[in-house]
Amino acid sequence: LSPGAKMGCFTFIKVMMILFNLAIFLGGATLLGVGIWVTVDGQSFLDIFGALSSSVLQFMNVSYFLIVIGSILLVIGFLGCCGAQKESKCLLMMFFTVVLIIFIAEIAAAVVALVYTGLVSETLLTALVTPILREKYGADTTVSQIWNTTMTEVHCCGLNNYTDFTGSPFYEKDKTYPGPCCKNVEPCDDALAAKSQVPGCFDQILEEIKTNAGVVGGVAAGIAALEIAAMAVSMYLYCKLDEK
């Protein structure tokens, strides 16, 4: 290629790098803003999006999760956008390093998830979620509303089964369980809940993931491809700066 063509290729890739990372930066800012909103005023968030609540809300503090993800995207977007715009080798190398670390962490997390799914289900989630259910369900409006929405939409009961609610403020009031634990037949007492055999939400979510494994795998592969492409482009710009 002629010097002019090479320069045109460099400029095109540089502009694409800037636009791509600007989109990442804006997306990160949006997630960070939503995370802060949920932290400061979670009830109004649930009032607006309650019907769309994801069952994922039960297994992590969604506000802190959004803040962390939003902050990471902000950093990546800033490094990539400014590194390309200012033609800074230092910022481009930092961008490459951050994306590489995230890429390696995702692979490690995927391996751990595949190998230890059962262990996570029985130990970590049970240890974290069940105490919250027994302490706050029926007493905390936000927790109760999130779980009610999830159990109704996913057709499940508790994290593992109806016994997760035993001892909760809701159960202690009338010695009954939430309606979804008995397929909405009232009163939902111990005998009816045991007879109904409504599966736990974690098992239902795992089943949904397995059913949609192709979609999940496709999304994961797409994200990995974008990360690899981003690292390749940043290294291309980094190396080309030596020739300028």
Domain positions in the chain: 3-108+224-243, 122-199
pTM: 0.62
Binning pLDDT at 50, 70 and 90, where does residue 32 land? confident
Let me know: does 228 contact 103? Beta carbons within 8 Å: yes
Provide CATH code, domain 122-199. 1.10.1450
pLDDT digits (tens, 9 = 90+) for 70-129: 899 899 999 999 988 888 899 999 999 999 999 998 888 777 767 665 555 556 667 777
**pLDDT greater at residue 8 or residue 67:** 67
Closest C-alpha among 192, 211, 195, 191 to residue 203: 211
pLDDT digits (tens, 9 = 90+) for 127-143: 777 888 888 899 988 88
Residue 78: the pLDDT is: 92
Q: At what angle do helices 3-40 and 213-241 cross, to 10 degrees?
A: 130
